[in-house]
Amino acid sequence: MNIRLIIAVFLGVTSCWATFSMYPYFIQLAIEWKSGKEKNVLFHLKAPNPDTPDTPNPDFLYSALFYDLSKGDLLLTGDVPEQLDYFSIAFYGANSFHYALVKARDIKEKTYTIRLTNGNTPTQSSGELHVQSPSTSGTVIVRYMRRNAEDHAYIQRIQQRSMLKQLP
């Protein structure tokens, strides 16, 4: 087997692994920078430009949050988009490792309420999903898949109705 081919495959695999494993970290840094290092604020990121290399998938719109649970739990609420092919909320710890994923099919209602906690949670409320963070800080990325311009406007309306509340 050609040594150049082996090296090319190795570099391709390792660079893909590095890209995907580090992606949440880069999102986290971008959120910190954009927010002036402000935490516990939900941001709605602009649609990626499909003509720019190395951007997130242009078929998705994103909301993101860099969280700090040192002062208490967070409550994330919003509407579940009914007319989209894909919707998810991904949770990443301080080390950028993915530890939880909530998809539209996991939510039984038309709205969601997710309590993000670091272990000091009282009894679970009815209809509330609990997500246990492995650390006091991390990142949440909400993904909305769009097919056309109408979906874009629909997603933006849903994003604006999403709310984040700090609990004592």
pLDDT over 70 percentage in the chain = 67
| pLDDT tens-digit series, residues 73-129 | 999 999 998 877 888 999 998 887 889 999 988 888 899 999 999 876 655 666 788
What mean pLDDT, rounded, does the chain reach?
77
Question: Using the 8-state DSSP alphabet, how is residue 40 labeled?
Answer: S
The amino acid at residue 104 is A
- With a CB cutoff of 8 Å and minimum separation 6, the contacts of 80 are 87, 104, 107, 109, 110, 111, 112
Both tokens of 130, joined, read 């609990």
pTM of the model: 0.75
In this structure, which topology does domain 3-166 adopt according to CATH? Immunoglobulin-like (2.60.40)
Residue 80 near residue 144 (C-beta atoms within 8 A) = no
**161 or 10: whose pLDDT is higher?**
161
